[in-house]
Each structure stands twice: as C-alpha cells, then as structure tokens.
Amino acid sequence: MQDAKLVVGEMITLEEEYETLNNIEDIKQRLSNSNELMTNEEVGIIHNLTELKQQFAKLSNYGLAYKDVYERINSSLIEIDDIFIEIENLQDSLEANPNRLETVNAKLQVLHNLMLKHSAADENELIQIRESLSQKMSDTENLDATIIQKESKVKALQQQLIADSKTIHANRTKVIPQLIQQLEDILGTLGMPNSKFNIQLHQSETFLNYGTDELEFLFSANKGGNFNELKKSASGGELSRIMLAIKSILSKYIQLPTIMFDEIDTGVSGEISNKMASIMQQMSKTMQVFTITHLPQIAAKGDTHFKVFKEDINEVTQTQLKKLNADERIVEIAQMLGGVKLSDSAIAHAKQLLN
C-alpha cells in the first residue's frame, strides 16, 4: 500500500483523465461540431445572434421594452463568445497520449484492487487504513524498546511498593502492642478480664491491597489458655464483644460519618449488654451510630428509636419502619423486658432505663 503513494482526491482526477484520454477522438469530433455550430457563416449561433443584435439595436430606440431585449441579446452574445473561446481552448489542449492512458489505467487498477482487498469505499479510507497499518508496523518495530521502557517502569514501581510496604510493616509492628492493650482493656470492662491477643504479621510473597503483611489474630479467652484462631476460640457472645471493641478503637482513628451495628449484642445479656451500650453511646459523640438490637439495655441508650416490623398488605409481606414518640418508646422497651402483656413493673423499669 505504501508503493501506491495515495493522495486524497487523486482517484477522481485520474478517473476524469482516463475518460478523456480513452475517448479523445469522440471528444475532438464533438468539440469540432460545436465549433461549427457556433461559427458557421450562415446558420452559426454567433452569426445569428449578431444579426439579432443588430435588429434590436435599431428597435431599442423605440421603447424600453425593445431596449431590454437588446441588452439581454447582447449579454447572451458575450456569454456565447466566452463559450466559443473555452471550446477552442479545450480543442487546443487535447492530445492523444497512449502512454499516459496506460499509466493512468494502471494506477486506477492498483487503487481498485487495494479498495477491494481492504474493503474500502474510496482512497480516503485507504489512506486511513495505510496510516493504521503504518502505526502498527512502527509499534512492532519499536516493541523491544517499549518492553524495556515498561519493564523499567514496573521495576521502579516495585521498588516504591517495597519501600511503602516496609514503612507500613514498621508502623504496624509499632502499634500492635498498643492495639492489643486497648482491646484487652475494653474486653476487661465487658466481662472478659482474662482475654489475651497475639497479633502476628506474616510476609506475603505478593503485594496486597495494603502492603505485604498478612495479619493473623490469635485469641485466648481463659487464663493460661493456648492461643488459637479467633473464629475457633471465641464463642458467639465473645465475638460480639470483640467486634465492638475493635470498631470502637478504629472509630477513634477513622473519621466515619456513620457506623451501623446489626445485632452486635448477639449472645450477650445483663450487665455486659449495658456496658456495650455505654461504649456505643460514647462512640455516638463523634459519629452517627445505628444499632439494631433486641436488648432493652442497649435500645434504651439510643436518642431516637425506630421500630422495624412486618405487615401483610394485599397478601404480600412488607417490612415497615416507624419512628417512635416518647410514649411508644416506653411501651417498646417494656415489651422487650416483659413480653407483649405489659405490667406496671415493666413500664417502670422501661422508664428507669430511658432516664
């Protein structure tokens, strides 16, 4: 395609030149006939228009209507003279040239073959295809240099990641003892005074989202007990308290606008649930805290209450959400304490908790 030396608009020019060279004898004859029609002394267009002009030159003195026709005839004669000159120029420019005809035909054949080969509508599309292929060839020729450049960039990024990972690892190693101490202190207040943590860092062979450390939380709930994986060594209630302790610590360092606890009090009751509620209440001073709970001790700590319930509407069960007023809050807390049938003691206890 490079050998074709494509030029925008060249195909139309070549096709016109081909038609002229291929039909030159017919064109010459028709131009000669046209010349004769215009210049014949008896019936030629110029001769007749000249005679007509002379007739109306005399008539133009008799009124504006005749003068107007005279001027139109004169304009036509000027235009015909220009056409005659152009026909003569075309005749003079015509010259049979078999060699040029062969060259033009060969170039057109090359263009048509390329258009067929590349499914192009015209030489403009061929040029676009040529540029695209040229770019691909250039990319291929420079592939080794591009690979070297990319490898160098990857290596630089790896070095930066390694440096960042080392910094993260050092920071984690530094704060792990503080995190363990805070966790154990909080869990001590939540009825787990013998809880012990062992947080270990293991180096990964690949880069992770946050460095190369794989964190392992080992836990022991009893004094003198062995450390084991958290999910294997903690009960449901213990996991709830551990999760609350972790989130309460993280909330001091991550400025979250809102945090939601979905029955984080699972497996917990009594005084421990009251202490968990106090921790969540403390967290609510710096962020918005949503808590889904079935425990009255935790619900009573909330500033606002919503009741979630289900209704059958048109034989379809729908979940509803209702904001409770002051009296409704007392009723719901009392039902948590004593069941659906409300007692005076349950109402009194609910008021006490809310106050």
The answer to whether the beta carbons of residues 304 and 317 sit under 8 Å apart is: no
What are the structure tokens assigned to 179, written together? 């995190």
Q: What percent of the chain has pLDDT over 90?
A: 40
d(CA 35, CA 296): 114
pLDDT in tens, 34-54: 888 888 877 789 888 998 999
Lowest mean pLDDT: which of 132-141, 296-305, 319-328?
132-141
d(CA 187, CA 196): 9
Its sign, for the CA torsion 53, 55, 56, 61, is: positive
> What is the reported pTM?
0.54
Tell me which long-range contacts 162-168 makes (C-beta under 8 A, separation of at least 24). Answer: 164/211, 165/207, 165/211, 165/212, 165/213, 168/210, 168/211, 168/213
pLDDT at 4 over 60: no
Lowest mean pLDDT: which of 34-38, 129-133, 210-214, 334-338?
129-133
The answer to whether the beta carbons of residues 47 and 41 sit under 8 Å apart is: yes
**Arithmetic mean of pLDDT, 133-142:** 74
**Arithmetic mean of pLDDT, 134-142:** 74
What are the structure tokens assigned to 346, written together? 């349950």
d(CA 109, CA 114): 9
Residue 164 neighbours by CB under 8 Å, 6+ apart: 211
pLDDT at 170 over 90: yes
**Arithmetic mean of pLDDT, 49-75:** 91
Give the pLDDT score at 94: 85
182 to each of 218, 232, 249, how far by Cα in Å? 15, 22, 8
Give the pLDDT score at 171: 95
Give the pLDDT score at 18: 85
**Arithmetic mean of pLDDT, 107-114:** 82
Residue 166: pLDDT band (50, 70, 90) is very high
First vs last C-alpha separation in the chain:
89
Q: What residues form DSSP beta bridges with 322?
A: 307
Residue 151: pLDDT band (50, 70, 90) is very high
**Arithmetic mean of pLDDT, 165-175:** 95
pLDDT at 3 over 60: no
**Arithmetic mean of pLDDT, 61-83:** 92
Residue 237: pLDDT band (50, 70, 90) is confident
Q: What letter represents residue 264's amino acid?
A: I
Give the pLDDT score at 41: 77
Give the pLDDT score at 67: 92
pLDDT at 10 over 80: no
Residue 96: pLDDT band (50, 70, 90) is confident
Nearest to 166 by CA among 212, 104, 130, 108: 212
The answer to whether the beta carbons of residues 217 and 194 sit under 8 Å apart is: no
Nearest to 229 by CA among 201, 258, 198: 198
The answer to whether the beta carbons of residues 94 and 24 sit under 8 Å apart is: yes
